[in-house]
Chains A and B, each alone.
Chain A
């Protein structure tokens, strides 16, 4: 989890991927779809975004398929298929294969026509937003990905949850410098951050959460049981909370409303509950050379990103980094050292393996 030392009990990336495929195959997900999910979840764990990796396999995906609220074998319907736009109904299947399918469509269309957008409705939790935006990088394109989610956050000056953590991800290819990959929840922090504070017995920071009445609270238990997250920028408008709220609402509109999926009060669900088909996504891809020479752009972006890298840090801070760099460093490290998995998560996936009668995920311990 964020803000904690990584677990010493590790799994190899390839073994983790195989295990996720085994689990999903056991509940009748197709081989190809299972690989898509595994790819996205392993990418999250490698990037240090543990909250969105294998930790969610059982509760968010396997159990919902077992309960019959998410379809293992969905039928996709193209609602609109134009030269620059694509709208998909994902048939209440898993979000990851639907996301990959739609993003591929956006990329194909962008290669032909310069740019393209795709929406997906009747889908489910799709893991990390960055994965789909980064799919564009292999093609030299700029990628965009957003999703709505069950509601966890209040609007500015409100006390009822009206939006999720609604992340926005943008990936832009550079030349020699690693790409710019911005992947941000539009809330100040994610729910996982509250959990970490509670586990450590630490107070929350101002700007993170409110209680049931919509008053700011620093108590993790109060925030988690009856309260809600605050938008990026915190409580009220003094520090720009209305901007984070606006961004979250934008994502809700571009996903739920534009995709023709669920939105508004119908998304006021327990994030961990048994429900399906609630989520919508939005994807985009954009050819750089439709505007300027691609190589010249990548060289200029190298210069731009290095300007940030090389700028003088605050006394006591390490250095200035650009978006995506910490996640890239984690990925390199965990590729060689193994993927850290929290002991509690190990318990959960071991129990799941027993329930599904599949081989457990092989583990090893680092010093």
Chain B
């Protein structure tokens, strides 16, 4: 297994574009996917970056499950709203399209929302919320996904990790970017613990009957994730469940896409596609108050958190998006690290597709 390598973000983006155009995706769409995946890796969210390029996107296009050249249909459009049918194309360009329109509409009308159906996995939710920042707007984004989690007191998988993202611009401080799964942990975390043979923490997962478990092999025994807040209601598990259900209502139900029992699918390579729906929002700050004053106040607010005293044994208090922002600064300077199995997989993909592999930074 090769060691971790570092790559320039431009080189990584170019590789994603090469891979996707070689399977028939048009250049503009491939560029957007490259941008979203590289943003995930640059922010240190490796689970949602190029590690998924082959399995989630290239393979599904090659086996015909995702349309390489989708036709978008605007199902309904009003001054402040948009419903898009993404024609079972890649989720990233469809989402980029919808969020761009949402921002344009918000510029005209103050606020706007969009829903997208018949789409696919779109990478990190934070990317689309963050598109609003340069327009002095607040960005909002959520998506549903194949089901991994039980509802409170349930034993059947009823919802995905259904993330919410909010991005709010500050002045000197990095933006407030909250991007979180509504489950306690993601499925990827179970994979990591299984590989390391470590017991799970209480509050992460249940077995096939819905009872709490710490068995790291729970994925193979019909187990499921728990909502944020854990098992039952004592520590607020019903709140995480409610947030997850809210995400599915705002996406699948509001977009007239897939929802409920029809989303109860393993996220396998042969799973049906076009099942994912998304939701976007943009809010102009200056319709409520002067944006410069707002951003200066947000600086003060964020500093109040950051400068508050840490608990014993802790070094500092962070605000949402700060760790990812620091990763971006470091990885822009030193290159994005790709661990052995990931670079190995990308090299193999390059050979399969007959394209140039990812260029590394010379050691």
- Identify which of B78, B240, B253 contacts A297 (C-beta below 8 A): B253
Tell me the nearest residue of chain A to B109, going by C-beta. A84
Max chain B CB contacts within 10 Å: which of A115, A159, A189, A296? A115
Contact call A84/B110, Cβ cutoff below 8 A? yes
Stretch touching chain B among A43-51, A317-325, A328-336, A358-366: A317-325
Answer yes or no: B203 CB below 8 A from chain A CBs: yes
Bound Cα distance from A157 to B312, whole angstroms = 8
Stretch touching chain B among A69-77, A250-258, A270-278, A338-346: A250-258
Contact call A320/B152, Cβ cutoff below 8 A? yes
CB distance from A79 to the nearest CB of B (A): 7
Q: List, in ascending order, chain B residues with CB within 8 A of A242's CB.
A: 180, 318, 320
A78-92 vs B, Cβ < 8 Å mask (1 yes, 0 no): 011011110100000
Contact call A312/B210, Cβ cutoff below 8 A? yes
Q: List, in ascending order, chain A residues with CB within 8 A of B309's CB.
A: 158-160, 214
Answer yes or no: B154 CB below 8 A from chain A CBs: yes
Q: List, in ascending order, chain A residues with CB within 8 A of B318's CB.
A: 156-157, 242
Stretch touching chain A among B31-39, B288-296, B336-344, B350-358: B288-296
Contact call A233/B317, Cβ cutoff below 8 A? no
CB distance from A303 to the nearest CB of B (A): 6
Stretch touching chain B among A5-13, A21-29, A203-211: A203-211
Q: List, in ascending order, chain B residues with CB within 8 A of A256's CB.
A: 301
Residues in B56-97 with C-beta less than 8 Å from chain A: 75-76, 78-83
Residues in B245-301 with C-beta less than 8 Å from chain A: 245-246, 248-249, 252-256, 259-261, 283-285, 287-289, 293-294, 297-298, 300-301
Stretch touching chain A among B17-25, B42-50, B226-234, B326-334: B226-234
Answer yes or no: B214 CB below 8 A from chain A CBs: no
- The count of residues in chain A whose C-beta lies closer than 8 Å to any C-beta of chain B is 89
- The count of residues in chain B whose C-beta lies closer than 8 Å to any C-beta of chain A is 87
Residues in A295-313 with C-beta less than 8 Å from chain B: 296-297, 300-301, 303-304, 307-308, 311-313
Stretch touching chain B among A32-40, A57-65, A283-291: A283-291
Contact call B75/A292, Cβ cutoff below 8 A? yes
Answer yes or no: B310 CB below 8 A from chain A CBs: yes
B221-245 vs A, Cβ < 8 Å mask (1 yes, 0 no): 0000000111010111011111101
Stretch touching chain B among A93-101, A218-226, A260-268, A348-356: A260-268
Bound Cα distance from A239 to B301, whole angstroms = 25
Bound Cα distance from A258 to B161, whole angstroms = 29
Contact call B80/A290, Cβ cutoff below 8 A? yes
Bound Cα distance from A111 to B116, whole angstroms = 22
Q: List, in ascending order, chain A residues with CB within 8 A of B111's CB.
A: 84-85, 115-117
Contact call B228/A244, Cβ cutoff below 8 A? yes
Contact call B110/A83, Cβ cutoff below 8 A? yes
Contact call B185/A240, Cβ cutoff below 8 A? yes
Tell me the nearest residue of chain B to A238, going by C-beta. B201
Q: List, in ascending order, chain B residues with CB within 8 A of A132's CB.
A: none
- Identify which of B178, B236, B249 contacts A232 (C-beta below 8 A): B236
Contact call B317/A155, Cβ cutoff below 8 A? yes
Answer yes or no: A141 CB below 8 A from chain B CBs: no
Sorted nearest first, the 4 A-B pairs with minimum C-beta distance are A214-B311, A314-B210, A317-B153, A264-B304
A-B contacts, 15 listed (Cβ < 8 Å):
A159-B308, A162-B317, A207-B230, A210-B311, A213-B312, A240-B240, A253-B168, A257-B301, A291-B255, A292-B75, A297-B254, A301-B249, A312-B154, A314-B153, A314-B155
